[in-house]
Amino acid sequence: MRLLHTSDWHLGRAFHRVNMLGAQAEFISHLVATVRERAVDAVVVSGDVYDRAVPPLAAVELFDDALHRLADQGTPTVMISGNHDSARRLGVGAGLIGRAGIHLRTDPGACATPVLIPDATGDVAFYGLPYLEPALVKDEFGVSKPGHEAVLAAAMDRVRADLAERPAGTRSVVLAHAFVTGGEASDSERDITVGGVAAVPSGVFDGVDYVALGHLHGSQVISERARYSGSPLPYSFSEADHRKSMWLVDLDAHGFAAAERVDCPVPRPLARIRGDLADLLARPDLTAHEESWVEATLTDPVRPDDPMARLAERFPHTLSLAFDPQRAPEDPDVSYAQRLKGRDDQQIAEDFVTHVRGAGPDERERAVLREALDAVRIDDTRREVAR
């Protein structure tokens, strides 16, 4: 049995100001081609199909297209809902869609009812654990102390109990959307929990042959038999070093046999560059990034004029601009009161401009500050008189 493991498509999500639907459609085509060319027996999608509970129409249409193309391949597919999906909305029509071989598992109560897919040596049982929000499912699983570990452990107890009843030699795959201890996050997952400990020890998933994890957006190996596929596309610059991919996993008669990484198409590489604006516009080693999506951090001590337009002349795909001016640190031993001592309001205001911009106010700006301070003083005087 050969399965293809992917997750975190986040259909409808943008990358900064770039609409990613075209890249997402290209990924779907790549997925379908991989299923065909690599003789895949089952596809598993471990949550976050969509980016939000109510996705834009174009994302719903792309998902519809993906379902049709997967069904046309005749390759069974198992999908779960993630923390970004609305389980109820994603699950609409699941019964009918299931007849076409696409199994949407969005009901926590059904997590121990597997999708059985046979190969030459018997059945492989696919258990889809949709994202389990502890506060919402603690009664369903009868756990007294709510938390990700408690509800996932209870769900896995049900899975192992079901598996124990099946014929010897039945192999098992679990799909789960969770933050497993030891996994490395990026900036684009968005919090899986509000308060409390989100991470779940990997031992919770003991007893099955492969755990197809979703939620973390970087491809990673928790153990040989428990892996994150990561998202097929980057959704933050923190993923600049990621290699976006899927796992092609082979199960033999005894369980896990091998896993191979299959790269996803790269719509445009990411680059994080840092330095003074003049350097970034001149450095020869940055030529390779001229066509990349760029995040630039400018270190100029004085904020340069019109930095975005100037950067865009060399790096037309600059999407993010940050400032981290490199200046001599202020003496931390001097207290705020000491620094203000003997300085009038005008001087303090001018110091503030220098502090935030790196350069003090020019003559015109000084006049504006003076006028503003005068206006406040006049206002105060009027109020005194009125009293």
Q: Given the rule CB under 5 A, which residues bind Mn ion?
A: 8, 48
Min CB(176)–Mn ion separation in Å: 13
CA-based nearest residue to 312, from 269, 275, 281: 281
Residue whose Cβ sits closest to Mn ion: 48
Min CB(177)–Mn ion separation in Å: 8
CB nearer Mn ion, residue 131 or residue 141:
131
Min CB(8)–Mn ion separation in Å: 4
Contact 24, 233 (CB under 8 A): yes
The C-alpha atoms of residue 163 and residue 178 are separated, in whole angstroms, by 21
Contact 42, 126 (CB under 8 A): yes
- Max distance between CA atoms of the chain, in angstroms, equals 96
55: tokens are 């996705």
The C-alpha atoms of residue 98 and residue 82 are separated, in whole angstroms, by 19
The residues near 242 (Cβ < 8 Å, ≥ 6 apart) are: 186, 217, 218, 219, 230, 234
Determine phi and psi for 82, rounding to 5 degrees.
Answer: -105, -175
CB nearer Mn ion, residue 202 or residue 229:
229
CB nearer Mn ion, residue 171 or residue 217:
217
CB nearer Mn ion, residue 8 or residue 300:
8
Min CB(321)–Mn ion separation in Å: 26
The H or E element that residue 257 is part of is strand 255-263
Min CB(51)–Mn ion separation in Å: 8
The C-alpha atoms of residue 215 and residue 46 are separated, in whole angstroms, by 8
Min CB(9)–Mn ion separation in Å: 9
CB nearer Mn ion, residue 184 or residue 305:
184
CB nearer Mn ion, residue 114 or residue 230:
230
Following DSSP, what letter does each residue of 13-78 receive, concatenated?
A: -EETTEE-HHHHHHHHHHHHHHHHHTT-SEEEEES-SBSSSS--HHHHHHHHHHHHHHHHHT--EE
CB nearer Mn ion, residue 8 or residue 209:
8
Min CB(234)–Mn ion separation in Å: 12
Cα torsion angle, 46, 51, 53, 57, sign:
negative
Min CB(10)–Mn ion separation in Å: 6
CB nearer Mn ion, residue 2 or residue 84:
84
